[in-house]
Amino acid sequence: MAGITNRAFRKICTFWGAQFSFTEMISAESVVRNFKTVQRMLPKDEPNVAVQLFGNDPKTLAQAAKIVEPYAAWIDINAACPVKKVIKKNSGGALLNDLERLEKIIGSVKSSVQKPVTVKIRIGFEKNILDQIVHSCIKAGADGIEVHGRTVVQKYSGKAFWDLKLSQYGISTAVSGDIFEAEDFHKALEMSGANSALIARGALRKPWIFAQITQKRTPKITEIKETFTKHLKMQIEDEGERSIYKMRQFVAGYTHGMRGAREFREKFMKLNKPEDMEKAIEEFFNSFLMNECNNKIVEWIEEQS
């Protein structure tokens, strides 16, 4: 997810059990012309991260893929993004309206790298033409596809379509869209016939969703507190103290469903020093645990009397 899945957050997802992840989408043009500006987005000490590129020119994408290949577990091409700025440049989801170009991009990237090449797609631009899109990807040599079960025009409206019949294609497939709980994960996998399922917004809302799926367990509040603090430290270590504002987008997830969370979030949003954030996390979670403990004691006393 652009603006979200940086190194620190990817590592947190891996810690909870995600088996692979993707970088934020990276402009192929920037990789080729101004590598320094995008270098921090690339995986470092992470074994199973695909680097996702977006762009429109087959040659530039091929050059960019070659440059990022040493950092990547594999290369992923974005043909799904519905954001206006991206579509205007005939990149992302706009490529689903120009399958000939998409094929050229895939072919050109494939021939410039050794590692596998996958393509992130939606079911169509305006209407469902998934079958046609998948055949184009296969014809051009893609090793796999990830399908968000909506059209580009739909953006995030309606419900993601999981009945994708992906097992018929004989390449590696992943289903994406509206997986917010472990049950959704299993249902999406079964309904789509995909080999794997991707979690985007669900990981932001509840980063430990991966533990619920892979280990069938929900972590204790103390574990969530420790991970929140660890995440903050990793963010600082990787991108410096000035980047801690990025932690604000995770606070709702880490405190999801907890009593007093709204007030805490409001307070947290105003903090801009690492030590203040760390202290606030410590105080909020400790006071939550203390209240829970008191409530249990009261319940026990009431049961006895």
Contact characters 157-176, ligand FMN, x per CB under 6 A: -------------------x
| Least Å from the CB of residue 27 to ligand FMN | 11
CA distance 93 to 83: 8
Length of the chain, please? 305
Residues 6+ apart with CB under 8 A from 32: 60, 63, 64, 67
Count the Cβ atoms, other than its own, within 10 Å of residue 104. 17
Q: Which of 7, 10, 11, 148 binds ligand FMN (CB under 6 A)?
A: 148
The candidate with the shortest Cα–Cα distance to 203, out of 191, 193, 213, is 213
Catalytic pick from 13, 81, 137, 293? 81
Residue reference for tokens 């105080």: 283
| Cβ–Cβ < 8 Å for 38, 31 | yes
Q: Which of 199, 213, 224, 281 binds ligand FMN (CB under 6 A)?
A: 199
C-beta of 27 vs 255, nearer to ligand FMN: 27
DSSP-assigned beta bridge partners for residue 148:
122, 176
| Least Å from the CB of residue 190 to ligand FMN | 17
238 touches ligand FMN by CB under 6 A: no
CA distance 55 to 76: 12
Contact characters 83-112, ligand FMN, x per CB under 6 A: ------------------------------
51 touches ligand FMN by CB under 6 A: no
Count the Cβ atoms, other than its own, within 10 Å of residue 17. 15
| Least Å from the CB of residue 228 to ligand FMN | 20
81 among known catalytic residues: yes
Q: Is 206 annotated as a binding residue?
A: no
Map residue 23 onto helix, strand or coil: coil
C-beta of 57 vs 178, nearer to ligand FMN: 178
C-beta of 58 vs 177, nearer to ligand FMN: 177
Count the Cβ atoms, other than its own, within 10 Å of residue 15. 16
Q: Is 200 annotated as a binding residue?
A: yes
Q: Is 148 annotated as a binding residue?
A: yes
270: which 2 tokens? Answer: 């105003």
| Stretch of 38-46, 78-86, 99-107, 131-139 lying at the interface with ligand FMN (CB under 6 A) | 78-86
Residues 6+ apart with CB under 8 A from 60: 28, 29, 32
Q: Which of 12, 25, 77, 142 binds ligand FMN (CB under 6 A)?
A: 25
4 touches ligand FMN by CB under 6 A: yes
198: which 2 tokens? Answer: 């991707």
Known binding residues for FMN: 52, 120, 148, 200-201
Binding residues for ligand FMN (CB under 6 A): 1-2, 4, 24-25, 52, 78, 80-81, 120, 148, 176-179, 199-202
Q: Which residues are catalytic?
A: 81
